[in-house]
Each structure stands twice: as C-alpha cells, then as structure tokens.
Structure 1
Amino acid sequence: MRRSISTLLLFITALAGKANAGNIPELVLEYAHAFAQTQAADKQASTPPTEYAQWFFQGLTHPYGGIFTQSDVMRDAYTNGQRYWRDHPSEHANIMAAYGYRAIERDGVWSTGFEKSMFQPAQVDPGVDAGPWWLNSFGGVAWRDVGLVAPNSAYEQPLVHIVAYLSPKGHYGHLGAYEHEALVISGTAIKAADH
C-alpha cells in the first residue's frame, strides 16, 4: 500500500510540470536508450524517452532518498538522475538548463499557508519570469537545510533572498496555480516577518 501511494505521489509530481518533456537533454536520451537496450523486445516500445526523462528529472532534483516502485524504468531513471547530480557537480547548471530551468538570485516576499508556498519577487524580467512563483526547496529538504525558516502563518511574510533554479513557464504548485516554480538551493532572511 505504501509503495503504491509513494509511486502515485511521485507520478502526480512528475505530471504536474516538473520536467518539461519538450526539453529532453541529449545525455538523458542516451541513458534512456541504454535502459531500453537492457529490456526484452516486448518492453522496449512501451518506454518512451519522455517518461524516462521525467523520472530522471525527479531523481536529479531529489538527489538523496529513494524511490519505491515496481517499475524498472522509473527506478532506473530516478537513480541515474540522482547519481548524475552527485557525480557531476560542475554540470548542475547545464543539466537544469537542458530541462528549461535557469539559475537565479532574487529578493522577494515569501508567504505560506494551506497548500501555499508563494514567492513574490521584488524585481522580475517582464514577460519572462513574472511572479508570483511556487517556492519549494531543492530536493524537498527542510527549509532550514537551505538557510530559511518558513513563516508560521499567512500573516508572516518575510523578505528573503533566494538562490534557486527557476522553472520554465508551466503549471506548478497547488492545482497548478503558479506559472513558475523556484527550487531553492539556499536562502537568507533579509527582513523578519511583520506581525
């Protein structure tokens, strides 16, 4: 039961716009091809590169932890994504860019609430990265692990500085309500929340 719930949650996350299927890095296509070569002939056609690329991205952006699934393609792609992230630190910006994500540094106001983690950047590039953005820690780690303390209520809205990967335009966060997601690598509070 736990395995199926974990697999379902990861699947929903993958479908929620995390990996831009139109941008499949050449490296990931090579991994997908290598995986397909290990499968029986009847299974090869059922594993499109886009599926492999989505799960590679999930592993890439969750470099620690594991995946519980009976799907060989999910497990192979996820663990290869994790391994790539850990083994190639100098390539982080390039592989994220291949998925349409770009490294950014921004100041902005962060607010949280029920199914809400919103970042309103102080300055944006009009037409490129207009906010607000869904704010998530890279790898889903605790906020303190990236240097931030989450606001305790919707009334607390601290001004923070973030270093993150900004997603391509899509649907992110609760019910896909945000056009962008910022995966925070590190952050600091600039001004404490007003009460």
Structure 2
Amino acid sequence: MKRFTITTTVAAAALALTLPGIAQGHEPTARKAAPEVKELLGQGSGDCPSMSLCLYEDTNLNQGKAARIWVFPVTDARTDYTLRGHAAADKPSSGYMRAPNLGWTAHLFPDYTCGYEGNREAEAISFRRNDPYNSLNGHNGRAKRYGYFNKNGKWTKTKQWGVTEQTLYLNDRAGCIAVGAYKNTGALSPYINGDM
C-alpha cells in the first residue's frame, strides 16, 4: 500500500508541473490583460471619454434617457475585448468612437471572437471617429461566408471561405470589440473576395 501511495504522490507532483497556468522556464510570457471596460450611465456623444469606443444600451446614443454606456479604451496596440459573461454582451444598440485624429480603428463583432480566423462565419462593422452610429443596424461591414463569390464578372467554381461586403445588422449583437491603431489592426480589414 505504501508503494502505491508514493507512486501516486510522485505522479501527482509530475502532473502538477505540467498543468496550464503554472509558470515554467520555457513557457512564453503571459499576454498582457486588456484594460478594464468601464460602465457609465449617460447619454449622447459628450459622455464618451476621449480615446474610447462607447457602446450605448439604447439607440440614438441613449438620447431618450440616461442608460448604460460601455467604454472601451482605444490604445495604439490592438486590444480585443471578448464580452462572454460581460454585462454588455448582446446589449448595445448604438455607438460612438471619440478620437482626436486619424489613425484609430474600432470594430464590433457579434460573436465572442475578434477577427476572421478559422473556418467559421464572421462579420464586423468598423467605426469612423467622431461619427455617431445612432443604430448598429444597416451599416456596411465585412463578412466572412462560405459559398460562391463573384468578382470581375466571374463566379468561383467551387464553394470556398471568403470575405464580402454586406449590410450588417448588429443591434443587440455584441460579442467582441477590437480597437487599436490602423498600423496594428490590418487583420481586421481582410481582402474582399467578391460578392456572394
């Protein structure tokens, strides 16, 4: 019985050394955590802090009454904010990006992954600085789809994954927010394969 206990203890110790999250010399440095998402009560673009993407609970930037505003800081590096389990998930109906000059981007994805990687459908709208999006419906955005694409008058011969530009409807569909400088967010504006 003692031999079994010792073997189990040694095996458990070896297992503990390989569990994820336990620092080891050869592991890469942990990714820096995204800044905290602030929640405010307010209305209008004036309540959106500088260098932020603000998503508003109600249409027209909460103009009917003060309601929740979720504030995502815009920094130089690309920062992705997944809303899985967050109070803002699938709640915003309008948005505004306050930035002092050109060179900044903010993208809203309806699922919990920012970007277009992998074999999955994905879509996003991007925000223009200092331009109110009184509704998140009816904006042109890029959408990754699986199907036939038409470009320069020719259709693809087989179904494939590709990116097209479409009118998107993202009211109450917020899953991931990506912000950053243009130079660091190129993957969020993928090449368009054509129309479907």
TM-score of the superposition, structure 1-length normalised?
0.26
Larger Rg: 2
Q: Could you say which structure has the higher strand fraction?
A: 2
Q: Could you say which structure has the higher helix fraction?
A: 1
